[in-house]
Amino acid sequence: MKYIGNILHLANSGKLIGRTSQSPPIGATVYNKKKNRIGKIYNIFGPTKNPYISIIFKVKKFKYNVNDELYILKSSKDKRGKKLRKKK
């Protein structure tokens, strides 16, 4: 697993806001330190050196603390736009 940043707060929209030092791919699944799935990266915004990320929850109950660490899988890549062709 690859460290991407820390949790800052919960936004009014219901998304979790975090701070990172790199730009992870949108749609990547986010995990906590205990390897529990939290959600997916919805948006990346803010300055280019230390951007913010917004995460959509994919679990019903999730207890978080400020400054909890966030991780993604090393092989996690953006797979949008790739369609398989059917063989005739």
Q: Is 57 helix (H, G, I), strand (E, B) or coil?
A: strand
Look at residue 69 in the predicted model and tell me its pLDDT. Answer: 92
Altogether, the residues listed in the chain come to a count of: 88
What is the pTM (predicted TM-score) of this model?
0.76
Distance, first Cα to last Cα, the chain: 39
Residue type, 81: G
What pLDDT is recorded for position 66?
A: 85
Cβ-proximal residues to 64 (8 Å cutoff; 6+ apart), any chain: 7, 10, 16, 32, 38
pLDDT of residue 76: 46
Q: How far apart are CA 26 and CA 66, in angstroms?
A: 22
**Per-residue confidence (pLDDT) for residue 53, from 0 to 100:** 95
Question: How many helices and strands in the chain, by DSSP H and E?
Answer: 0, 6
81, 25 contact by CB (below 8 A)? no
pLDDT for position 84: 60
pLDDT at 79: 55
| Per-residue confidence in pLDDT tens, the chain, 88 aa | 899 999 999 899 889 999 998 888 999 999 999 898 999 999 999 999 999 999 998 777 777 788 889 999 886 454 555 556 666 6
Classify 2-72 by CATH class.
Answer: mainly beta
